[in-house]
Amino acid sequence: MKEQVFAAVLAISAVAAPARADEAFVANQTGDDLTIVELSTMTPLATIPIGGKPAGVAVSRDGSRVYVTSPEGHFLSVIDAAARRVAKKIETGGGPLGVAVSPDGSRVYVADMYGGGLIEVDPATEATRRVEIGAMPAGVAATPDGKTLVVAARDDNALVVLDAKSLVRLARIPVGRHPYGVTIDAEGGRVYSANVESDDVSVVDLAERRLVANVPVGSHPYSVALAKGRVFAANQYAESVSVFDARSLKPLATIKVGEYPESVAASRDGAVIYVVNWFSNELWSLDAATLKISAKAATGDGPRAFGAFIRAVN
């Protein structure tokens, strides 16, 4: 009996003090702040005031910095992730929305939705460069080697491919209607766009710069996550996550989630998919293998967390 109690206490303490688990940085647009959620227990750890109706999130590869866009405040917040505080704010003008970080952490790429451009920011010096993209740039992603950028030109129904060093435009690839979130696979081979108005996900071959297929998903998909050779799309109006096989492009499942899901991201090891539900103010986790919902956590009001919002804690 005594031993059992002792074992139980050990088990509880192991749960309560996880070994440096990963974290989600969830920007709450209505609440004007950001919730940090510890992911092994799905427990909110801290709330950081942001302002300017924050929407886009990008975590640096080393996990030290988190970048958050505020489209109505017209600035980019640089967050010291370990200290859980805003280190500085960098004015961008326009309507900063989608955001991505170069793999080496030296550059941050911000889509200026109203200005129609992409702004490259050096977060150390705050120096900026700008390149024109098209109508309503939304999501941004960098290839794992950092050499190539992909931007969704939402109202042009196209993805724009750029050379990251020169910011020279390499290609403009027509996709479905109103591409929003863009996600590049770990090999840098394919990019996926969630197309809000055509209710599909475009699969694009980056090397060949051509559209492979438009795969039907649910109503109003906003973003895409990749794990276990599967593609996960968050469907805002359908309130579901569509899953299809990345190779065969055949549908695997439709999973009911919270209200108005917008952003999805995968854990580092690809075991878990995290879904941010904008209307119901929740972060949900689902098992990428079994496709079952595993846990839920409360966020602030109106969570967007548009982008790569999972922080790997090493």
Q: Which residues bind other proteins (CB under 8 A)?
A: 29-30, 53, 55, 71-72, 74, 91-95, 97, 112-117, 119, 127-130, 135-136, 155, 167, 219, 237, 260, 278-279, 302
Shortest reach from residue 63's CB to other proteins, in Å: 28
Shortest reach from residue 36's CB to other proteins, in Å: 22
Shortest reach from residue 54's CB to other proteins, in Å: 10
- Which CB sits closer to other proteins, 28 or 267? 28
- Which CB sits closer to other proteins, 129 or 190? 129
DSSP state of 303: B
Q: Distance (Å, rounded) from C-alpha 45 to C-alpha 43?
A: 6
Q: Could you tell me the CA-to-CA distances from 257 to 83, 186, 204, 221 in Å, in that order?
A: 32, 26, 27, 13
Shortest reach from residue 49's CB to other proteins, in Å: 17
Q: Which two tokens stand for residue 77?
A: 């917040």
Measured in degrees and rounded to the nearest 5, phi and psi for residue 155 equal -80, 0
- Which CB sits closer to other proteins, 128 or 198? 128
Output 215-218 pairs: Cβ under 8 A, ≥24 positions apart: 215/244, 215/249, 215/251, 216/251, 217/242, 217/244, 218/242, 218/254
- Which CB sits closer to other proteins, 189 or 216? 216
- Which CB sits closer to other proteins, 31 or 146? 31
- Which CB sits closer to other proteins, 61 or 130? 130
User: Please, what is the Cα angle at 153 between 148 and 158, to 5 degrees?
Assistant: 85
Measured in degrees and rounded to the nearest 5, phi and psi for residue 165 equal -75, -50
What element of type H or E holds 13?
helix 2-16
Shortest reach from residue 93's CB to other proteins, in Å: 4
Shortest reach from residue 193's CB to other proteins, in Å: 18
